Structures are given as C-alpha cells and as structure tokens.
Structure 1
C-alpha cells in the first residue's frame, strides 16, 4: 500500500490546527484534539498521522470488496 502524500497542516495563533490534503481543507482541530494531534505528528510519520486523523486513508481491501459477487450486480445504493 502506498504511503499517504499531499497532507499539510497549519497551526493558527488561536491554537486551531487546519489539515489540508492537496490544498483542500480536510479537518479542523481545536483545543485538546489539536494538542493531541500535534503530539502525534511530532512522534510519528506526519503524513500517516494526518491521513488517519482526516479519515483519508485506504485499508487496502477496496479491490477485493469491489470484486465480491454481492457487489458486482450493478446495483447502486443499499440493500
């Protein structure tokens, strides 16, 4: 699975952290969540942390799910 790319974060003077992905706002964190996020970024891989916090990451099973017989019927929508 490829590493996430294209994430940046900006720390504002009011303590708010804005995470962007390819120039588009992906998350805005305030207060304790912003502090926890900054601590995780400092301790780990920043791109991976930002991908996880924004929910913009893949699990690696999308192709498997797409090819499952239940998902090949051409239906759109729920059950």
Structure 2
C-alpha cells in the first residue's frame, strides 16, 4: 500500500481550514473540527491525516476487487 499524495491545506483568517486534493477543495472544516484537524496535522504524517479527514484513502477491499473475474484482464 502506498502513502497518499497530492494533499495540501489552507487555513483562512476566520479559522476555516480547506483541505485540497489534486487542486480541488476536498473538505472544509470549521470551528472545533478545524481545531482538531490542526492538532492532528502537527502530530503525524500530514498526507495520511488529510487523506483520513477527507475519506480519500484505501478501504481494505482492493485485494478482493483485484481478484474479481471482471478485473482479471481476460
């Protein structure tokens, strides 16, 4: 499993945090959620934290999908 990439974030003057994925806004956090996000972003891997907050991360079913007959390339 590779680490997520392509995430960045911007903190606005009003305290709102916008998480950007590949140039597009993926999530907007306000108030307590923004504060919690900023606390987590300083404590861990930024890319992984942003992927988790936006929901853009692997869900665990990739192996099953790869083994499905439709994805075997026949």
> By the TM > 0.5 criterion, same fold?
yes
Task: Give the TM-score taking structure 1 as reference length.
Answer: 0.80
Is 1:54 aligned to residue 54 of structure 2? Answer: yes
Partner of 2:22: 22
Task: Give the TM-score taking structure 2 as reference length.
Answer: 0.85
Partner of 1:11: 11
Q: Tell me the distance in 1 between the aligned counterparts of 2:45 and 2:63.
A: 26
Q: Give me the CA root mean square deviation.
A: 1.5
Q: Aligned to 1:38, what secondary structure does the other structure show?
A: helix
Gaps of 5+ in 2: none
Is 1:41 aligned to residue 41 of structure 2? Answer: yes
Q: Tell me the distance in 2 between the aligned counterparts of 1:29 and 1:59.
A: 22
**Pairs aligned (count):** 70
Q: Tell me the distance in 2 between the aligned counterparts of 1:26 and 1:63.
A: 26
Larger radius of gyration: 1
Deviations, residues 27-60 of structure 1 (Å, cap 9, x unaligned) = 0000000000000000000000000000000134
The farther-off stretch of 60-69 and 50-59 is 60-69
Q: Aligned-pair distance for 1:64?
A: 1.1
